[in-house]
Chains A and B, each alone.
Chain A
């Protein structure tokens, strides 16, 4: 159809002026440029080059690992065009649950981890059903479910942290393989699985189709509800995985411990959408988004920047990320 006055088509077909090219570069590669600038600045600015040491760099990736896992799960939900605000609370519940199962119920570690992951998946399933079958708006549904999860944590722990954690559980995140922390290996494994699912399986393509045009996907024979539910389930499972690793790292199961991952994940996913792609959510982008946030945070603290600036940085980068991905979507189409 020739939609003569379709503004969107128009912008797309507008000429590639230098200003436009600059915008495309900034919106597509801005994240990477920012990362490069930060690395150079922090390398020069941090005391005794402490920023660029192999140990510090590994520490940054290690810090990023947990966020990357939960954020990549969230990426799938955003790919199908929905929202999940329950992931942080889901992670918190997982931490409390996995430690509690071992400490209070005496469940063996492996079983406790499997049960916790399953419950994370069930939370995702519930979110998915609420959004697709009951037709509840995703923001409201997942916020509500998240709040219920907070309540469940208090119900399970009566509010006090669970600290009687077996040493082999703590060893999960303490251990290293080839000098590289286990968390990093686990992250790489989970991210690889998610990447393959999204890009190399029919389900992943269906998710992308649903996110791109739900109506068209339905009429092309895609079971849109299933694709959405699958995305929520994977996000829930990833949230639980992050929660388990966090509990191992902290050596305890604490109520609300994982809540903060919500904001971090959103910042990373949106930053990722503006990285390399045209405002499309994707796994590699999300990983880069997480790394940028953590490089910034780490560098700022090494340079002794006051804490308040670190939060200004974090909030600022979320807003900037969304602006960038919006610009990327707008300008980069042919």
Chain B
């Protein structure tokens, strides 16, 4: 794959977009420090860095939603002022990020044509030219589904295609994508890479923001690495190894443990789920979780892993099957029942499913254990000092970087937000902790910290279930991995047998007739 792109050379020497000396500060904090780099037409430009490194700010400046304090932006060699998103749009710059971009319930056609509807002389939307254009775009992107499909019915990968389609409808000269592959399976991501390469080959500049460094290294022609608002490395048309990227992102060599830890002898069985089925996807899924064990749940997005985890946690009801905790059969009717029984859950979408963004770290941590903040059930008044004390304690334990526990969670970086969610479950030291995509959208440094916390918990006897689409994470973290495909468990890997290749092959085991992922 990496070799394909070597075959073509970007057409011109004049960069499409050129940043020179961009500086931007928020309050006292410098978000961008004298940032300069070029985005070449026909090149895939990777933008990497830890959360809070300035990637987002750089893109916001380009999108016209944020104004730099100083510095210039040049397009096709002439300086421009991008005062608002309309200016960016008029310059052919388009921006895609996954959340909130598609209008749910609308069909593909309407979503693609959003904001560019030409009207007839009577002021009525003229769909015919739109439809023609959309059809061409679909052919270009290899879209098989019909234009009248409701976008809600599409997979995440297909939704991305619709968003790219929307950009193409506008004759985009540059498409900036924020973490496009974060929620895609390996197979889907590969498909998206192919499309991105084709877009670039046709002359579009693609800005690609991702935490998946393997993919950045393989896909991008140019890579700009940011750290604390400043450019630390620029790779222009040269190969960047993952290790080099990590060094530039972190500013030091980060040790990635080859294999997790020595789990020691297995503890007693804590949780057992047998023959779980639901009405949608799960068919006869079972797992056994031991005290002190880190069990991974691998597979493709859509394989039913999150659904399975939610059934165990009482957030979804199984149609059939039995769950037992410490040998006793349990029927969780809500997450509250599960929490009371000693379970904890770190959801996949932390902003939507886990955090109270406008609230403090203290509130976010204590919310899951309010009853233990009161002297007794008969005197149900909160001891705020105790709450603050213990939230401080667990926040320190996972190294949350915040001015204090009274800081608003929404102001923290993604990695720190994730640590806050995990800290919540350290208050009561759960018997079972389920983490769904624990390091998604988290920078490498924070990811290592999250892994350390998970290992510590397991060492102290908590049974940990980690759902992850990041196979490298499963290999690094887990003592044992179950792989799911299409709602069934397809295999189990233990210890040294856990390899990315093995996980991938089991992920596709049921799709024998179709093309494999890698």
Interface residues of A (CB under 8 A from B): 1-7, 9-10, 12-16, 196, 200-203, 205-206, 208-209, 212-213, 215-223, 278, 280, 333-334
Contacts and interface: CB of A to CB of B under 8 A. Distances in A.
A220 B354 contact: yes
Contacts of B371: 202
Interface in B356-380: 356-359, 363, 366-368, 370-371, 373-374, 380
B367 A203 contact: no
A1 B350 contact: yes
Given A213-B357, A333-B410, A5 B179 contact: no
Contacts of B441: 1-2
B382 A205 contact: yes
Given A205-B363, A205-B366, A218-B315, 6 more contacts: A5-B95, A200-B381, A202-B370, A202-B371, A219-B347, A334-B408
B122 interface: no
A206 B334 CA distance: 15
A213 B353 CA distance: 8
B335 A1 contact: no
* Nearest 10 CB-CB pairings of A with B: A221-B339, A202-B370, A1-B441, A212-B356, A4-B178, A220-B368, A4-B56, A334-B411, A223-B336, A4-B59
B99 A333 contact: no
B353 A3 contact: no
A2 B373 contact: no
A208 B381 CA distance: 15
Contacts of A9: 410
Interface in B122-179: 176, 178-179
B338 A213 contact: no
B513 interface: no
Interface string B212-232: 000000000000000000000
Interface of B: 25-27, 51, 55-56, 59-60, 63, 65-66, 95, 97, 99-100, 176, 178-179, 182, 209, 313, 315, 334-336, 338-340, 345, 347, 350-359, 363, 366-368, 370-371, 373-374, 380-382, 384, 408, 410-411, 414, 424, 440-441
A279 B424 CA distance: 26
A216 B381 contact: no
A122 B298 CA distance: 49
Contacts of A205: 363, 366-367, 370, 382
Contacts of A223: 334, 336
Nearest to A223: B336
B350 A219 contact: no
A215 B353 contact: yes
A327 to B, nearest CB: 15
B352 A216 contact: yes
Nearest to A1: B441
Contact of A2 (B55, B347, B350, B380): B55
A11 to B, nearest CB: 9
A205 B313 CA distance: 22
Nearest to B370: A202
Contacts of A12: 410-411
A217 B408 CA distance: 17
Contact of A218 (B59, B335, B358): B335
22 contacts: A1-B99, A2-B51, A2-B56, A2-B209, A4-B59, A4-B95, A4-B176, A4-B209, A12-B410, A13-B26, A14-B26, A15-B27, A209-B356, A209-B363, A212-B359, A213-B355, A219-B315, A219-B345, A219-B353, A220-B339, A220-B367, A221-B368
Contacts of A4: 55-56, 59-60, 63, 95, 97, 176, 178, 209
Given A2-B209, A2-B414, A221 B335 contact: yes
A26 to B, nearest CB: 20
A328 to B, nearest CB: 12
Contact of A5 (B178, B338, B345): B178
A1 B65 contact: no
B381 A201 contact: yes
Given A1-B414, A5-B63, A209-B367, A216 B56 contact: no
Given A205-B367, A221-B340, A5 B381 contact: no
Given A12-B410, A333-B410, A213 B356 contact: yes
A321 to B, nearest CB: 20
Contacts of B358: 212, 278, 280, 333
Contacts of B209: 2, 4
B367 A215 contact: no
Most central of A13, A15, A218, A333 by chain B CB within 10 Å:
A13
A28 to B, nearest CB: 15
Contacts of B357: 212-213
Nearest to B176: A4
Contacts of B315: 218-219
Contacts of B440: 1
Nearest to B442: A1
B394 to A, nearest CB: 14
B362 to A, nearest CB: 11
A220 B335 CA distance: 7
A222 B367 contact: yes
Nearest to B211: A2
B454 to A, nearest CB: 18
Contact of B353 (A10, A216, A221, A334): A216
A16 B66 CA distance: 13
A216 B356 contact: yes
Contacts of B353: 215-216, 219
A334 B410 contact: yes
A201 B382 contact: yes
Nearest to B338: A221
Nearest to A11: B65
Contact of B178 (A3, A7, A202): A3
Contacts of B179: 1-2
B439 to A, nearest CB: 12
Contacts of A201: 374, 380-382
A219 B335 contact: yes
Instruction: Name which of A5, A209, A220 has the most chain B CB atoms within 10 A of its CB.
Output: A220
A205 to B, nearest CB: 5
B97 A3 contact: yes
